[in-house]
Structure 1
Amino acid sequence: MALADLLSFLPFLALALAAASTGARYKPGPWYAALAKPPLTPPNWVFPLVWSALYLLIAAAGFKVWRAGGWAAWPALAVWAGHLLLNAAWSWLFFGRRRLDLAMAELVVFWLSILATILAFAPHSATAAWLLVPYIAWVTAAGALNWGFLKLNGPRGELAAEAVSAGAYPAPGTKALPPSPPPAARASRAAPRPSRLAGSPRDPFRP
């Protein structure tokens, strides 16, 4: 990539990373750990890996449209930039506000904005449009998971919130307290051991 192309690519990468920053700010944490998980929920480490690759594809797609159409492509690029706002809003609603219902509704609009971006990019660069296909496929899967979380946990994940409040899932960086021993065990620990009284008969078989 020539230096001029690299400099042109950087603004697109910066906008994509700005959208990604909400995912870094609003992390799953104890509340998400306490949620009942729908089938086929990926482990937590999968999400940053997939999203890192997708944000690179998002930036590359925007750059390719700019390179192909220049200022004539500004309506398509406006759709691209607007969809990034919806991308950023989902993490805030799901993990920040803990509103599974609002996140689900927003994700429908978000998915439609990706489709609109693909359709707007296609006349300028077929390659750019295809670069977004893995993106919309992943968001489709995320929508199915969001719906599963909503059905299992309610609009606000009430059961998970109660578990966190009860201390079942400690805050990140802290350790859960060990369980207290049962009362009988505590009583046996506290009971004094019988001592040998002075003048008591000595067992001839013990020293």
Structure 2
Amino acid sequence: MSRSWILPVTLAGLAALVVAAIGGTITDLGPWYQGLEKPDWTPPRLAFPIAWTTVFALTVISFVTAWRNAPSTKASDTLIGLFAANAFLNILWSLLFFRVQRPDWAFYELIVLWVSILAMMIYCWRLSRMASVLLLPYIAWVSAAGLLNWQIVQLNGPFG
């Protein structure tokens, strides 16, 4: 790895670890969550950390790849803004679902999260097609999570 890759890889990796750590800290799989009715197709508990680790790793690679191909400071700043907003939305979903215990609100926020991933994919496509493709597992996982979230709302609502 050349020296020019060290800073973006380090910063993106640290950002992903911070988002994962905050999200993991917020996520409470205690009695409230265990008591929710869930669809039969709910993934096993072990699938979630594996999927999220994969998603975060691919997101870091996507970001660094796109950032390295950014033709200007404005383009790299826009990229940073898109990924930062997405990180915030990722954490916000966990907060709404697990801490506020409002899967209904979390579902609507997840739609915004999904759109933010799509925006990242579209923007990355201009900079690096590979960077965009690396985000496909993220949007697929959030799509599945959205369906699961909606089913939980349907099986357990109303909330609040």
Give the structure-1-normalised TM-score: 0.72
1:9 is aligned to 9
Kept in 1, the 8 Å contact 2:110–2:146? The answer is yes
Kept in 2, the 8 Å contact 1:16–1:59? The answer is yes
3-state SS of paired residue (2:126): coil
Q: Determine which of 118, 121, 129 is the counterpart of 2:132.
A: 129
Answering whether residue 110 of structure 2 is matched by residue 107 of structure 1, we say: yes
Distance in 2 of aligned mates of 1:92 and 1:6? 32
1:175 is aligned to none
AA aligned to 2:146 is: G
Kept in 1, the 8 Å contact 2:67–2:79? The answer is no
Distance in 2 of aligned mates of 1:130 and 1:6? 23
AA aligned to 2:8 is: S
Per-residue deviation, 1:30: 1.8
Kept in 1, the 8 Å contact 2:107–2:149? The answer is yes
Distance in 1 of aligned mates of 2:129 and 2:59? 14
1:75 is aligned to 78
3-state SS of paired residue (1:18): helix
Per-residue deviation, 1:34: 1.1
Q: Deviations over 1:62-113 (max 9, x none)?
A: 1111111152332133112111110111111111111011100100111001
Kept in 1, the 8 Å contact 2:23–2:90? The answer is no
Answering whether residue 76 of structure 2 is matched by residue 96 of structure 1, we say: no
Of the two, which has the highest radius of gyration? 1
AA aligned to 2:133 is: W
Distance in 2 of aligned mates of 1:79 and 1:23? 18
Q: Please, which runs of 5 or more residues in structure 2 have no aligned partner?
A: none
Give the structure-2-normalised TM-score: 0.91
3-state SS of paired residue (1:122): helix
Per-residue deviation, 1:130: 0.3
Percent identity of equivalent pairs? 39
2:46 is aligned to 45
AA aligned to 1:42 is: P
Distance in 1 of aligned mates of 2:129 and 2:104? 35
Per-residue deviation, 1:38: 1.1
AA aligned to 2:46 is: W
Kept in 1, the 8 Å contact 2:9–2:64? The answer is yes
Matched pairs, number: 157
Per-residue deviation, 1:3: 4.1
Per-residue deviation, 1:27: 2.5
Answering whether residue 22 of structure 2 is matched by residue 22 of structure 1, we say: yes
1:166 is aligned to none
